[in-house]
Structure 1
Amino acid sequence: MTDLDRVGPGRPWAKGWRRLLLGSGMMVFPALTAVAVGGTVSGAAAVAGYAVVAAFCVCYALLVLAFGRGRRRWIAPLLAVMIALSLAALPFAHENAFFLATVVVSVVAILWRQHAAWAVATGALAALVVPWAVRPWHTGPGGFQALALVFTSLTCGAFAEIAATNTALFAARAEVARLASEAERNRIARDLHDLLGHSLTAITVKSRVAQRLAGKDLDQAVAEMAAVETLSRQALSDVRAAVTGYREATLAGELARGRELLRAAGVMADLPTAADAVAPRERELFGWVVREGITNVVRHARADRCSVLLTATSVEIRDDGTGGGPGGTGGGKGLTGDGKGLTGLRERVAAAGGTVEAGPLDPRGWRLLVTVPQNGPGREDDEGHRGTP
């Protein structure tokens, strides 16, 4: 298996001037071999030597073309022919034939980096030993050729490593963008669910109250419908703000809304009149908890009484209802009816490092408790701004 999976065609690094520059730059070595052929042999031997070098160049060009177009099955056969041609050039160029071996080893360093070490070692050793061992050549070890082989192949291998890293970076960047997009979609879906679940519940309750009052107290029925209009406008505003990411649920505002919603639903409300006991950084989170908890009470609890208890690190919502879970199973209530509210709330609280406890009370009722760490991140900054409980 080659490294084409990581640095193959279609990758940004393998296109354009980089590939052209690297590929054409390697043609210097066949050119040096061709010059050496003219200085070593003459006549028919020189023609044969030039033909070998030319065939090597053709094979190399075909290999670069196959690499660029993803024709993997041609890579190994062409490389094998290039090895044979570099060996065939030895009688004509002597030690300078190892310039062709430089090209071969560089290709191995790019495509089979796991085999690069032994290929470089073998090529460099051959460049040193063969010219010295063949006495008729009247030359010593090919030190220059060995150095050229080592440094060129190492450079090509480093280029391939950088290319693979860049490819991985492109892939990671695309994955980060995908995850960010998915997280944003989930955030919008969760926020829209939270916002509309509360607002539509309030609108439904007030609409029913207005229907009951229509034949008894027309003025009060008109007032309830005016409240419905106000809630509808507020819901629209909240949805727009959620989509743009600039809205927040304030604890004081949610307590006021919750008190009004419970009153309209005929539930006695025991809610704090202020949110000073809660650190400023927790008020938005606790606002969402109050919104979800009270919406759940109105929609599912069939309760007579609902209470909210606030401390610096917790918010607790209790009711004395008998309502069951989604679909009336009686197995426990899922916030806003389908369980998505509780899931979204758990995500919010988990992001703040807190915990959520939700379950039935004995003999009846339901309890939702959200607790955040007393010394969580950023809490120290809030100490100087915390009001008196």
Structure 2
Amino acid sequence: MFGFALVVAVWLLPARWSVLLGLVTLALQVFLGPVDWGHVGGLVPGIVIPVAVTLLIRLVVQLGQAHEEIAALAAAAERDRLARDLHDVLGHSLTTITVKSGLARRVLESGGDPERALAELRDVERLSRQAHGEVRLTVSGRRRPSLAAELAGARAALRAAGIGAVLPPSADHVRAELAGPFAYVLREGVTNVIRHSGATRCEVLLGDDWLEVRDDGPGRNAAEPGNGLSGLAERLRAVGGRIEAGPLPAGGFRLRASRT
């Protein structure tokens, strides 16, 4: 009966108090009163085993709870990654598709060159297929952004939107570990210029470990947290960088990514 009572007490108490209770019980039974040393060998397991088994059961329960919490956190992290990547992929692709479709419509409505309209529509078809492929790679976690490809895409998107573009000729000098995060920054920055700024000119400046996207628009080209900047900040933090965004003193807006 004493063994059962000890197990119940150990189960209800915190782990450190459970161990202390077992030790105190052992000390009391050994050192108080007359002791039959012939029975001490059976006394120790009678006290230690209930405590050990109860603590082991508690540990198994806690491990199961921890496993469930880890699985929930992993699922939440994967959802966040997928949402961030889909935002980055689809935001730019759909914006470019919208701009090019609108350009083709305006050319046709104004009686302009049909070949130019057809060229824009071919680009829309190509971009749609490309976006579909990027979504599949994003879902599987196999998409690897290219800064050189984003520069080419930014040039085409800005041209279709009627925004003058000043872009670096290449991105070969950018550090390898920063090329991927900078590709996301460039895509998000150009998308915001097209969608929000009302700019007539966009300039991209690129250094070894920094990138800037500037525009001369009067509109507020500041993405709210959750609309892109928070995702970019997470990507830059992973490589020791940071994001800065704000209006320029002479007008316009600047998005800067750097690692100092």
After TM superposition, the score normalised by the length of structure 2 is: 0.90
How far residue 115 of structure 1 moved from its aligned partner, in angstroms, is 2.8
Is 2:255 aligned against 1:372?
no
Give the equivalent residue in structure 2 for 1:152. Answer: 46
Contact 1:109 1:156 (8 Å CA) reproduced: no
- Tell which structure's C-alpha radius of gyration is larger: 1
Relative to structure 1, is the Cα distance of residues 104 and 209 closer, same or farther in structure 2, using a 3 angstrom cutoff?
closer
Is 2:113 aligned against 1:220?
no
Contact 1:259 1:269 (8 Å CA) reproduced: yes
Give the equivalent residue in structure 2 for 1:178. Answer: 72
Amino acid in the other structure paired with 2:215: D
CA distance in 2, matches of 1:154, 1:255: 70
Match among 157, 161, 168 for residue 272 of structure 1:
168
Q: Which residues in structure 2 correspond to 1:134-149 (within 5 Å)?
A: 141-149=35-43
Give the equivalent residue in structure 2 for 1:119. Answer: 25
How far residue 333 of structure 1 moved from its aligned partner, in angstroms, is 1.9
Contact 2:7 2:54 (8 Å CA) reproduced: no
Equivalent position SS for 1:144: coil
Task: State percent identity of aligned pairs.
Answer: 44
Is 2:222 aligned against 1:333?
yes
Give the equivalent residue in structure 2 for 1:107. Answer: 7
Which runs of structure 1 show a deviation greater than 4 angstroms over 4 or more consecutive aligned residues?
none
Amino acid in the other structure paired with 2:67: R
Contact 2:154 2:187 (8 Å CA) reproduced: yes
How far residue 106 of structure 1 moved from its aligned partner, in angstroms, is 5.1
Amino acid in the other structure paired with 1:200: L
Amino acid in the other structure paired with 1:311: G
Match among 237, 244, 251 for residue 357 of structure 1:
244
How far residue 165 of structure 1 moved from its aligned partner, in angstroms, is 2.6
Shifted more, 257-266 versus 161-170: the winner is: 161-170
Structure 1, unmatched stretches of 5+, are 1-81, 83-100, 131-140, 325-331, 374-389
Contact 1:357 1:369 (8 Å CA) reproduced: yes
CA distance in 1, matches of 2:96, 2:152: 13
How far residue 278 of structure 1 moved from its aligned partner, in angstroms, is 0.4
Contact 1:188 1:242 (8 Å CA) reproduced: yes
Relative to structure 1, is the Cα distance of residues 106 and 144 closer, same or farther in structure 2, using a 3 angstrom cutoff?
farther
Contact 2:10 2:21 (8 Å CA) reproduced: no
Give the equivalent residue in structure 2 for 1:234. Answer: 130
Is 2:102 aligned against 1:196?
no
Equivalent position SS for 2:257: strand
Give the equivalent residue in structure 1 for 2:200. Answer: 304
After TM superposition, the score normalised by the length of structure 1 is: 0.61
Equivalent position SS for 2:39: helix
CA distance in 2, matches of 1:291, 1:203: 14
Give the equivalent residue in structure 1 for 2:146. Answer: 250
Contact 2:167 2:204 (8 Å CA) reproduced: yes
CA distance in 1, matches of 2:69, 2:62: 10
User: Which of the pair is proportionally richer in helix?
Assistant: 1
Amino acid in the other structure paired with 2:71: A
Is 2:62 aligned against 1:168?
yes
Give the equivalent residue in structure 2 for 1:320. Answer: 216
Match among 185, 191, 199 for residue 289 of structure 1:
185
Contact 1:124 1:147 (8 Å CA) reproduced: no
Equivalent position SS for 2:222: coil
Equivalent position SS for 2:145: coil
Amino acid in the other structure paired with 2:7: V
Equivalent position SS for 1:358: strand
CA distance in 1, matches of 2:107, 2:175: 41
CA distance in 1, matches of 2:234, 2:252: 24
Amino acid in the other structure paired with 1:266: G
Equivalent position SS for 1:272: coil
Contact 1:105 1:116 (8 Å CA) reproduced: no
Amino acid in the other structure paired with 2:177: R
Equivalent position SS for 2:86: helix
Amino acid in the other structure paired with 2:239: A
How far residue 181 of structure 1 moved from its aligned partner, in angstroms, is 0.8
